[in-house]
Structure 1
Amino acid sequence: MSTSLDSGPPPQAQATALRRRLAALRGPSTAPRPLDARALAALAANPGCRRRALLDGAGVDKAALARALGSPAVFGQSQFAFMRGNAFEARVKAEGGAALLRLLGVADPQAALVPDLAAAGPEGRAARTALALREATQAGAWTLLDHPMLALQVAGSPVYLEPDAVVVHPGGRWTVVEIKSFPMLDGSADPSKAGAAARQAAVYVLALEHIAAVTKGASVDHSVLLVCPKDFSNLPTASAVDVRRQLSVTRRQLARLTRVGEIASALPDGLDFDMESRSSDELASAVDSVPSAYAPECLSACELAFHCRERARSTGAVEALGRAVRGELGGLSTIAGVLSAARGESGDPDDPAVVALRRAARLRAEALGGRATDDAVRGPGCR
C-alpha cells in the first residue's frame, strides 16, 4: 500500500511553502537581502541565535530593521574605505589579474585563462561558476575566476557567496583569494583584521569543497591567499593564511544551526517584519517573539545587537555580561538572582555556582574590611 499520504508534502512543495512563508515575513513588496560571507561567518559564530538565523534566512534587512526599532547599528565600512578597497582590488586585477597571478608565482600571467562568468541571477551565476571550475580543472592551465558565485546550503536554505577571486592551478588545486585594503607591514597584517578575513575566506572554502567533491581531479586549498597593500604603498603583496581551524569551526557551527523552516513554523500566525506596514512597537513585538542569544560580541557583528542588548539589560539577563560569565553561572539566569544567591537569600547551597558566588561575596567583604557586611552576606546556607 502506498504511504505517500502519510509522509507529508514532497520536498519541492515544502521548499515552495517555506519560500512563501519567508517572503511573507519580510513583506510582500520587499526584496530579500542576500547573505554574504561576512554575515555568514558571524552567524556561525553564534549558532544558538534563532532570531538572527530567521531574519537572515528570510532576507530581512537587519540594518533597516534596527533603525525602525530606534536602535541603529553604528558599525560598518566607511564610504572612504569602501572606495579605497575597490580601487586597490581593481589594481590587483588589472590586465587580466597579472599582478595577482605573479604573486602566485605564475611565470606568464598573460597565458592564464579568465573565463566569462556572466549569467542570469545568482542561481545561474553559481551554475556557470561550477561549470567553469570543472572546465578549468580539466584544461590543466592557470585559470583566474573573477568574482565567482558559490552556493552553500545553510539551515535548509541556499546562500550565494561571492569571493574576490578563485585561482585554479594546473594540477587541479583551487585557491581562494581575499583582497583587502588594510596594509601588510613588514610582511604581517593586523591580527584582528587578518583573523576576520580568514573566517570569511573559510566560508568560501567550505562552499568550494561541495563543488570539488563532484569534480574529478579537483582539490581545495586550505590556505587562502590574502592580498593587501605592501607597507604604506599601494603595491600589492600577499601572504598564505591557513584556514583549517576556521574551516573546522565554521563547518561545525553551521551544522548546529536550527533549520529556518522549524523556526518559522513556531511563530504565531500573522507575524511579520514588514517595515512598510508595521509600527515600531509592532516590529519590536515581532522581533522579541523570536528567541535570541545575545552576547557582547554581537555588538561588532550584528545590526540588531543594540536592540538585543537593551532588552537583555531591561530584563537583567546575565547574557549581557558575556558568554564566559553566563557559562559560569549555571542555572542563574538573571543578575538579580545572582546577587540574591551571593547574599544567601536564595539558591541551592549545594550548587557550585552558588557556593562560588557566596565565597566571592565573603572575600570581597573581608577585603573591604566589612565584617558586619560579611555576616549578612554569609547567610544561614553558606558553608
Structure 2
Amino acid sequence: MTSRPRIAMVLGDPAGIGPELIARLLADPATSEQADILLIADRDEWRRGMQVAGVELALAETDTLRFAQGAPRLYHWELDGKPAYPRGASSAEGGRYSLGTLSLALSLALSLAQSGQADSILFGPLNKSSLHAAGMDHSDELHWFAEQLGYHGAFCEFNVLDGLWTSRVTSHVALKDVPAMITPERVGAAIDLIDQALRRAGMATPRIAVCGLNPHNGDNGAFGREEIDVIAPAVAAARERGVNADGPFPADTIFLKVQGGPLQRQFDAIVTMYHDQGQIGIKLMGFSRGVTVQGGLPVPITTPAHGTAFDITQQGRADPGATLQAFQIACRMGAQRRAAAQA
C-alpha cells in the first residue's frame, strides 16, 4: 500500500488570481511527482487560467470523481446560469460563482475526502466580500467547511510561513468583543489544536509560544489581568497535558523569537489572542509565501493566505509561492492521514 497522497484541487474565485496560480502549480512536473491530483474545475476557467499564466497543460478529463496515478486529471463542473462577472473586482455576480464553487466544486472535494478517496484539499483564494455580497450566511469558508462536514469540535484558521505556524483564540470578530472571548477553555483549545495539527504535519514535539492580550503582557496587572487570570493558567494546564507550550509573551516581541529558519527560531508556532495580533507579524515576514490551513477539521484543507489579489488579476504576474507552500503542506498532511488510515 502507498502513502502517496491524493489531493483534490479547486480553482477558487475565478475573478481573482486562483486559476492562474493553480495553472502555474500544475504545469510544474515536480507537482505530479509528489501526489495524485484531481482538479475539480470549470474547464473554461481552467483554460483561461493557463492562458493568463502563459502555460499549456493538457489534462485528461474524467466524468467520474476518480484519481489516477501520474498526471493530474480534470473533472469538469459548470454553474447553471453562469453569471457574467467583472474580472479583478469584488461583486455580487462574482460572489454567486464563488458560492457555486463552494456548493458544487468544494462539496465534491469534501465528499471525496470524507469517503477516503481524497486525503487533502487545496483551493485557490476566495473573496469574502464577494461571497457575502452574494448572500453567504457564514462568516468565512472555514465555518462553511465545518458545517458541511458535520463537525462540531474546535476549529481555527492557521497561518503558516516557512514552517512557522500561527493560530488564534478569536478570529473574524470585532475587536471590542475579543476580551470577553478570552477564556481558559478557548485558550486551551487553541493550544491543543495547533499542537495536533503540527503533529499531523509530521512534527514530533512542536514548540508553542502563547501571546498575552494586553500591552506589555498586562505589566503585572497594571493594564489588565487576562495574562494572570486566564492565559497563564491555560498554558500551565496545556503543559500538564504534555503539550510543549510556553507563555504568555508580549505580542509586540514574540515574533523576534521566531526569526530565521527552523533551526534558529525558538518556537514552531505562536498562538495569538486575536486576528491582527498574529496576521500583521507573519504577513510582514513573507506575504507572498503564507498559507492558510483550515485547522481542526477532520480533513486537511489548505489555501494561499494572500487572497484573490484583484489588483493584479489577468496580468500574468501572480506569485505562485504561497500556492506551492499550500500544496506541500497538503501533501504532508494528506500523506499522514493516508498512512494513519492504512495502519
TM bucket normalised to smaller: under 0.3
Q: Which has the higher helix share?
A: 1
Normalising by structure 1, we get a TM-score of 0.24
